[in-house]
Structure 1
Amino acid sequence: MDLYQHFRPEEQPFIDQVLDWKDQVERNYIPVVSDFLDPREQLIFKSIIGQDENLQLSFNGGYEYAERKRAFLAPFYETVDFDDFNISILQGTYASKFVSLSHRDLLGTIMSLGLHRKKLGDLVVKEGQFQIICDQDLALYLKMNVEKIKNTRITLKEVDETNVLKPIHHWQDQEGTVSSTRLDVVLKEIYQISRQKAQTFIEKEAVKVNHRVVNNPSFQLESGDLISLKSYGRSKIVDLLGETRKNKVRIKTAKLK
């Protein structure tokens, strides 16, 4: 199918899943709700559904600028509200005077329970409190099993979407030109490091793309990709803006400050 040529080979299973959801909605007239999707998966979903007037596609991750969101695909006439996404928001508190809690600590505790990341949305940590955005069916299990983080006892309670903690993200946009969209080349551009150093980071598995370790320097980046470089922070590919007359690639990126 020509559709696949526009995406990476490893994205084919997700494309097949989206096509299956589309077929279900068209055949049965019953909406489907996805797991939590990263920005790249959201972009793929939008690309496949396109401007189909018989369908409507909505995303929700608990708040407007959430990174990880669930998709709701339905016939065009359906009314969509927050409850349709089956999202729970769990809130916990901790003594920030005695312990420092990070996003990594929270995610590590949850993943140690053997859960799949796709059932979790954004994790928001602020001084003295945190929130876990997750699948509704997972909420009770987390309330029963997440009792300690970094040896600090915590209690989780459910709050509604009007009380969600919204992280303050400062993304600094920049545009530039690169010789290609290879991972090592783009890392060099975004983080202002040598290409050799970028390759070393990649080979040492210090680089993630869309939350997955990538150890291939020639990995081709696409619009919507999230990048994480250990000790250097996070960035993303906002858009690929085409080629210059000298066959360079114009690229728009953003780095989290």
Structure 2
Amino acid sequence: MSIYEHFRHDEKEWIDQVLEWRSYVEDTYAPKKTDFLDPRQQTILRSVIGKNGDVEVTFFGGQSHTERKRAILSPDYMTPSSEDYDITLWNIDYPQKFVNLEHREILGSLMGLGLKREKFGDILMDTSKGIIQFYACKEVSDYLSLNFQQVGRNKIKLEELPLEKAIVKAEDGSEKQITSSSLRLDAVISQVVPFSRQKVQQWIQQGNVKVNWKLVEQTSFECKEGDTLSIRGFGRITIKIIEGQTKKGKTRLTVILQKS
């Protein structure tokens, strides 16, 4: 059976990249570090590499509960340290008495610098104290220092901090066990939100649902482990584990719910 049969058609390119990295580590006995990966990419990478080969994969995003993480593929006799992931923590100094910055504004301004989303990790915010921080790949530090000088129309100053100075991020959302008639997008969402499946289908068809940050308008779209479902006006659902079927043929899942 082909490895691609376990994944979506549009994930083939990512799987090919993972296989290429694995071959590199096997052939050179040298580690390979990735950019920041979303939860679905992490799931695929972990699945493709497996646990019983000569190559192992580990993840780190700056602290234990970050959503986006860098990965290191390495020979099984190596144990990467946190420093090996080359992650930089940045603090954003802004006129907090006069300005309220939002997550989307910060991410939008970072993306406006011309860098890929994969170069940035989680954005950390403590609005009660006016503290905003974010993680980034170390290799773009000089570029950020020179070019990231404002969010929207607001002037900012960047300060690089040690990782231990980060806002402590609590584990996102609440964990919940659900059973669904299938792994269809509408079926899974309707088991989490307090609305009917018909209402959920309308949300999807109206363009209010994204899967792994991509718009999905097909109610029959099949969910997989590691998927993040973003629902406009409600929040996000991350499929942590697909646990198998019940005696009645329903699918048992563990999800993490983050309300907006």
TM-score (norm 1): 0.93
* Structural mapping, 1:40-79, within 5 Å: 40-79=40-79
> Do the aligned partners of residues 153 and 40 (structure 1) sit closer, same or farther apart at CA in structure 2, a change above 3 Å counting?
same
Amino acid at match of 2:206: K
- Contact preservation (8 Å) 2:172, 2:256: no
Local SS of the residue matching 2:186: helix
Distance in structure 2 (CA, Å) of the matches to 1:114 and 1:195: 40
Q: What residue number does 1:104 align with?
A: 104
Q: What residue number does 1:199 align with?
A: 201
Distance in structure 2 (CA, Å) of the matches to 1:112 and 1:196: 38
- Contact preservation (8 Å) 1:169, 1:256: no
Distance in structure 1 (CA, Å) of the matches to 2:241 and 2:199: 25
Local SS of the residue matching 2:192: helix
Question: Alpha-carbon deviation of 1:12?
Answer: 1.3
For residues 130-163 of structure 1, give each alpha carbon's deviation from its aligned partner in whole angstroms, at most 9, with x where no partner exists. Answer: 1121111222212222212242211011111111
> Do the aligned partners of residues 255 and 144 (structure 1) sit closer, same or farther apart at CA in structure 2, a change above 3 Å counting?
same
Q: What residue number does 2:30 align with?
A: 30
Does residue 119 of the first structure (1) align with residue 119 of the second (2)? yes
Question: Alpha-carbon deviation of 1:129?
Answer: 2.0
- Contact preservation (8 Å) 1:90, 1:157: yes
Q: What residue number does 2:82 align with?
A: 82
> Do the aligned partners of residues 178 and 53 (structure 1) sit closer, same or farther apart at CA in structure 2, a change above 3 Å counting?
closer
Q: What residue number does 2:175 align with?
A: 173
Q: Percent identity?
A: 38
Mean Cα deviation higher: 171-180 or 156-165: 171-180
> Do the aligned partners of residues 166 and 204 (structure 1) sit closer, same or farther apart at CA in structure 2, a change above 3 Å counting?
farther
Q: What residue number does 1:252 align with?
A: 254
Amino acid at match of 2:211: V
For residues 166-210 of structure 1, give each alpha carbon's deviation from its aligned partner in whole angstroms, at most 9, with x where no partner exists. Answer: 233452222222111111111111112122222222223221212
Mean Cα deviation higher: 240-249 or 26-35: 240-249
- Contact preservation (8 Å) 1:228, 1:234: yes
Local SS of the residue matching 1:191: coil
Q: 2:162 aligns with which of 130, 135, 160?
A: 160
What 5-or-longer segments of structure 2 have no aligned partner?
none
Distance in structure 2 (CA, Å) of the matches to 1:143 and 1:208: 32
Question: Alpha-carbon deviation of 1:53?
Answer: 4.6
Distance in structure 1 (CA, Å) of the matches to 2:6 and 2:249: 20
TM-score (norm 2): 0.92
- Contact preservation (8 Å) 1:181, 1:220: yes
- Contact preservation (8 Å) 1:185, 1:195: yes
The root-mean-square deviation of aligned C-alpha atoms, in Å, is 1.7
Distance in structure 2 (CA, Å) of the matches to 1:231 and 1:56: 39
Amino acid at match of 1:174: K
Does residue 230 of the first structure (1) align with residue 232 of the second (2)? yes
- Contact preservation (8 Å) 2:93, 2:159: no
For residues 47-101 of structure 1, give each alpha carbon's deviation from its aligned partner in whole angstroms, at most 9, with x where no partner exists. Answer: 1111235223211111111111111011122241222212111111223332211
> Do the aligned partners of residues 79 and 179 (structure 1) sit closer, same or farther apart at CA in structure 2, a change above 3 Å counting?
closer
Does residue 7 of the first structure (1) align with residue 4 of the second (2)? no
Amino acid at match of 2:227: D
